[in-house]
Structure 1
């Protein structure tokens, strides 16, 4: 997919914003609008010390729960066992497009874990990886009903992840310089 194939709002952000805080703050609502999602957040991960945080979160309406934590925190020791999608991200598997949390294969996700911590019904678990390491997860999601992700949407998200990977890696590294 070429840059011209990105929806115009995403293309404009990719071309216009340079500072990471402004870039990600503008990008998440544009992703939310493009996918008509209810929430979109960016989880950042430092692979050197297994610290993570959700630094950016956009919600469509105030009744959608926000996922956000300002401070870097250690991963819970059971996270890989409790969350198959996080384990897949660490193993460098492709991003995961879940159309219905209620009917997804238990090898793909832990329904109880998703319901307890996130509450969404459909989601994209987009893995931001570089040099065999996980640096982040972009997660747009839908509440209340399933959602079929089109091939075009999948292509846009996969290409978008490739485009934002260098900035994500630099952002995480700069937090620990």
Structure 2
């Protein structure tokens, strides 16, 4: 199922734009709509310096928190210990599909960390990695309800990981101050 064609709304964006700065804000709403999510954000990071931020965030409704960050900041050294999802991403493990933050294993999800910092109930923690290095995280999520992620959702996300990772690396290598 991973060779499923990307939905036209997503493919059109990838064909229309060439620069990451244009693709990212355009593609997040399309991803959110295709996956029927409440929020979709893109966390970008420089793996050498560990400077990072949530650079782009789309929300279905205004009552969903916008967690876009304006400034690049050094990732806390404690983050991998606090957030098992982030630790898995740093190890360049496969992306993680959480159906219910409330019932997920504590080895996978720190429920309190997710509640305090993100507020969602179900999420996809898509790791944008190359050569064992984490460059970004694409995170579609659902609020209020658990969500069973379908084979279709998995196939779309796998393709997006492959398409977006080189764009994230291009974007981050342009950020010379990081």
Q: Aligning the two structures, in what range does the TM-score lie when normalised by the shorter sequence?
A: over 0.9
Q: Which residue of 1 aligns with 2:32?
A: 32
State the shift of 1:5 in Å. Answer: 1.1
State the shift of 1:33 in Å. Answer: 0.2
State the shift of 1:60 in Å. Answer: 0.6
Q: Which residue of 1 aligns with 2:105?
A: 105
1:159 aligns with 2:149: no
- 5 Å-filtered alignment, 1:122-161, equals 122-161=122-161
* Runs of 5+ consecutive residues of structure 2 not aligned to the other structure: none
| Matched position secondary structure for 2:14 | helix
Distance 1:28 1:101 in 2: 22
* Runs of 5+ consecutive residues of structure 1 not aligned to the other structure: none
Distance 2:26 2:149 in 1: 22
Q: Which residue of 2 aligns with 1:168?
A: 168
TM-score normalised to structure 1 length: 0.96
Q: How many residues align?
A: 176
Distance 1:115 1:176 in 2: 34
TM-score normalised to structure 2 length: 0.96
Give CA-to-partner distance per residue, 1:109-145, whole Å, 9 cap, x none: 1000000000000000000001110000000000000
| Matched position secondary structure for 2:103 | coil
Distance 1:68 1:162 in 2: 23
RMSD of aligned alpha carbons: 1.1
Distance 2:31 2:87 in 1: 24
Greater RCO, CA 8 A, separation 6+ = 2
State the shift of 1:41 in Å. Answer: 0.3
Q: Which residue of 1 aligns with 2:115?
A: 115
